[in-house]
Chain A
Amino acid sequence: MSIKLENVMYTYSPGTAYEIHALKNINLDIPDGQFIGIIGHTGSGKSTLIQHFNALVKPTSGTITYNGDDVWADKYDRRALRSEVGLVFQYPEHQLFENDVLSDVCFGPMNQGLSRAEAEKEARRALLQVGFKEENFSKSPFELSGGQKKRVAIAGVLAMNPKILILDEPTAGLDPKGRDDILDQIAELHKMRGITIILVSHSMEDVAKYVDRLIVMNHGEVAYDNTPKEVFKHYEELEKIGLAAPQITYIMHALKDNGLPVDADATTVAEAAESILKALKEKGGQKHA
């Protein structure tokens, strides 16, 4: 079970003066069960890329297969594909429309042909799994806070039981606590349902903490595709393309340059703290409590 992109190109307004190559020769393999981060600045092609995964956008050339079948073949059921590959867009305001939360989340499963009762079962399960409280099921989605709306939007896609869940900047506009809560919840989902998660983000700090594979997009191409640790080793190149490694990477490199034997590959605060404490101990305990 996997999505495969082979030589995928996407061009806006081909043949005119406004021609823009949004994606150039992309080759990617998304196997089951991974937690993937996609990062890149605005205009790097990451939004166009994720819309190829569930056939919302047709590539100008190249092939996209899901479980070995070409998704742009004539008889391919792309609506069915979209239930397997769920995509949650950045602004929940773009999809919430029903009078109450539960009905809104039922929209997806009912489009799959489930009865209202069956759909409600899926909706309840999805809402609870994203940490949305049962007592708020009958509230209007428009009365909710930003973080709650985001949860309902994610549940709206999750209720369709996708095998792959793509989230486009799920933390945009949330405050720090709201941001951490949503990301923790997504990581929890990854464990609980065992589904593939593709997380589009602007925050290196966030991806460093959660994902096990990081794809960096630049000018419509895949610049890096590796574990976050490996990618952040190229922090100087990342800066050249308008991105930056997590602050921790810089701290660790600065410490190492100043003679403290720390592990410069640490990417999270916890890893860094551990490595610094160890390094200081090794240095002979001149530095102490």
Chain B
Amino acid sequence: MLKDITIGQYYPADSIIHKLDPRVKFVGTMIFIVSIFIFNSFPGYFVAGLFLASMIALSKVPPKFMFKGLRAVFMLLMITVIFNMVLTPGDIVFKLGFIKVTREGLIMAGKMAVRLVFLISGSSIMTLTTTPNQLTDAMERLLRPLNRIHVPVHEIAMMMSIALRFIPILMEETDKIMKAQIARGADFESGNIIQRTKNMIPLLVPLFISAFRRANDLALAMEARCYHGGENRTQMKPLKYERKDYMAYLILIAYLAAAILFRVFKL
């Protein structure tokens, strides 16, 4: 299950999308997410879908990968669809006992499903084509104005990239600890909620201790390599806009304009 989450996973490939400045991809993803809430009709969703499909094609990431990310949110999707279907008042299409499915409900459910699928796939394009480090770099640069109101932007970005590096390590460690405790007769599967939570202690204590130890080691290692915060720090891969990035911004603006026009003219 955890392996199915594609967010935060990088898929190496040589594509135009991979080569774009991460800031463009970050802003682009934001614009796309905004657009799927601006579009409010199925023709509009068709435009958004077309845009999404061409981005997926350009990214050279196999669509199979994209859909793997959807599998993880399948439950959430089903719940949203069902709630919308049965809880929206309007013309009743059919009744099953006290459950009434309305026309408006079906439309609403359809829209929500489309939006969710677009939302997840849209953000997956970004995470699949951008290394976590590029992504945090982009955030650091885009959020830099917040420095003036004393938001520690560099520190937050550093924390995020370290988290991204250690999540797979800690997941593997969780698996090892679980096995070690199962070998001692631990039971992580049966019992009621309270018992199960209690049964997690032999897993969580070693995991936390290890995480703290790692944090401690890492802090030392960073200090040893002259890390002293963001001040006077240079970058190995500084972000620089190129022609293709400006082009991409133009396309994004055009796309956003289309979305607004669709909304204004109620297409």
Contacts and interface: CB of A to CB of B under 8 A. Distances in A.
Interface of A: 51, 54, 56, 79, 82-83, 86-89, 91, 93-97, 107-108, 111-112, 142, 156-157, 160
Given A94-B180, A95-B206, 17 more contacts: A56-B182, A56-B183, A79-B187, A82-B184, A83-B185, A89-B176, A89-B179, A89-B180, A94-B176, A95-B180, A95-B181, A108-B184, A108-B185, A111-B187, A142-B209, A156-B184, A157-B184
A111 B186 contact: yes
Interface string B196-222: 000001100110011001000000000
Contacts of A51: 179
A97 B201 contact: yes
17 contacts: A79-B185, A82-B184, A82-B185, A89-B180, A93-B206, A93-B209, A94-B173, A94-B176, A95-B177, A97-B202, A97-B206, A107-B184, A107-B185, A107-B202, A108-B185, A111-B184, A157-B184
Interface in B89-130: none
A156 B206 CA distance: 15
A142 B201 CA distance: 16
A142 B213 CA distance: 12
Contacts of A160: 184-185
A89 B185 CA distance: 14
B119 to A, nearest CB: 27
The secondary structure that dominates the B interface is helix
Contacts of A108: 184-185
- Sorted nearest first, the 7 A-B pairs with minimum C-beta distance are A111-B185, A97-B205, A108-B184, A95-B180, A87-B183, A89-B180, A94-B180
A190 to B, nearest CB: 19
Nearest to B202: A97
Residue among B176, B180, B202, B210 with the most chain A CB within 10 A? B180
B51 to A, nearest CB: 30
Contacts of B187: 79, 111
Residue among A82, A86, A88, A111 with the most chain B CB within 10 A? A111
Nearest to B208: A97
Nearest to B173: A94
Contacts of B206: 93-97
B71 to A, nearest CB: 15
A86 B183 contact: yes
A222 B72 CA distance: 39
Interface in B147-183: 173, 176-177, 179-183
Nearest to A99: B205
A88 B180 CA distance: 7
Nearest to A87: B183
